[in-house]
Structure 1
Amino acid sequence: MIKKTFYNLPEEKRQRIINAVMQEFASSATEKVSINRIIKAANISRGSFYQYFDDKVDLVEVLVKTFADLSVEGGRKALQYSNGDIFYTYEKLFDIITDFGKDKKQKMILKNLMKNLRANDDLISEYLLNRFEGLAPFREFSNQFNRDCLKYKSDEDVKSLSQILTQVLKNAIFDVFVVGMDCDKVKKDFLRKLYIIKNGAVAIKN
């Protein structure tokens, strides 16, 4: 996992390391992630690298959390606009995150980035299966969801619902950015799943 020493770094140095990680993953010429290239680009020693990260999988988390952090403000606006509607907020989070791929420059970066993630399947699989914390910044929203229109209103129930929706969102993001599926098709499937969760799967008997 990413160590506290990384987050305690001065902003300029931490951003320089993040930029080096993004550059390494985004390079179209890179087939495998190289720690040597990262430490050279970031102008840090190998010893310093391991003071900040345990392994290469942490680098995937750096990337995911960087994009997630950029999405938080949009999530806050969605919450405010919808008066805390949990389903509307998750729908907008999908749009916010996938919008990174709509800007021409960002799209090229993400395209090359995802090529590298596919070339490093062991990294992305290990992270998504066992260490995924990329959507952690969205946890702050849990207490802001409006419970008036929810059937289950307790803290534990709302937390469970949020966890389910987060998993569905994670899978959709994976399909768009890693698998490379059509964004519109993924969104349609994502909204269908939100609808099923929102309305329930059990038929009400007369």
Structure 2
Amino acid sequence: MTKKTFQNLPKDKKNKILLAAKVEFINNGFMGAKVSRICKQAEISRSAFYRYFDSLEDIFDIVIKHFLINRMLEFQNNIVNNPDRVFEICREMLVNALESKEDRLLVESLTTFNIIKDLPNYKTDMFNTLPRKTSLMMLNFMCLVKDFVNLHQKQGVPKEFILKHYDDLIHLMRKGYDNI
């Protein structure tokens, strides 16, 4: 949870801290992020960090909400408005995440339920207004996209191999998906 001490900081100092955290998460993912590197980049002490935030997860949530909420809403609206294109939309997300560190952070955040539930109109949008099978497929493919991105980033699996494998899986899923 963000503490009142952070909320009371001057805007430029808040932005400096959030930008340092964003860069840290983009470069290292949530699991590899370090408070010490955020503090060094933001030019604050570790004790100051913990006066502003309870944990690394707290600042991650804020970074996602601050920098990526519009991107998430675009994705959400794209799925809601084009439920028959869920496979293609997830493929576009995969391609973007393979090419952009910021999009990798978006994928990581979209597969974290506590971030998704904070989207505006979460209860009435994406998961609850889509047909059940589309909603389930979207959740599964978002997790699949995250796994493919991790294979590329952490194990060096080539982008072309990942996209081919994804396309093959979509082909198989379409066969089964259309018969549900």
The bucket for the TM-score relative to the shorter chain is: 0.5 to 0.7
Normalized per residue, the structure richer in helix is 2
Deviation of 1:92 after TM superposition, in Å, equals 1.1
Matched length: 162
Q: 1:178 aligns with which of 126, 139, 154?
A: 154
8 Å CA contact 2:79–2:89 kept in 1: the answer is: yes
Query: Which amino acid is 1:200 matched to?
Result: G
Matches within 5 A, 1:153-172: 153-154=131-132, 157-172=133-148
Deviation of 1:33 after TM superposition, in Å, equals 6.2
2:42 is equivalent to residue 46 of structure 1: no
Matches within 5 A, 1:187-206: 187-200=163-176
Per the alignment, in what secondary structure is the counterpart of residue 157 of structure 2?
Answer: coil
Greater relative contact order (Cα < 8 A, sep 6+) = 1
- Which whole-Å CA distance do the structure 2 matches of 1:17 and 1:190 have between them? 37
Query: Which amino acid is 2:15 matched to?
Result: Q
Q: Structure 2 length normalisation: TM-score?
A: 0.59
- Which whole-Å CA distance do the structure 1 matches of 2:67 and 2:156 have between them? 17
- Which whole-Å CA distance do the structure 2 matches of 1:188 and 1:180 have between them? 15
Matches within 5 A, 1:71-150: 71-72=71-72, 75=75, 79=79, 85-100=85-100, 132=112, 136=116, 142=126
Q: 1:121 corresponds to which residue?
A: none
Q: CA RMSD in A?
A: 4.6
Deviation sequence 1:94-151 (CA, Å, 0-9, x none): 12222316xxxx9xxx9xxxxxxxxxxxxxxxxx8xx9459836x9672598x6xxxx
Name structure 2 gaps, 5 residues minimum.
none
Query: Which amino acid is 2:156 matched to?
Result: G
Q: Structure 1 length normalisation: TM-score?
A: 0.53
Name structure 1 gaps, 5 residues minimum.
111-127, 148-152
- Which whole-Å CA distance do the structure 2 matches of 1:52 and 1:46 have between them? 11
Query: Which amino acid is 1:171 matched to?
Result: D
Deviation sequence 1:31-66 (CA, Å, 0-9, x none): x965344323313332332242424x7777788888
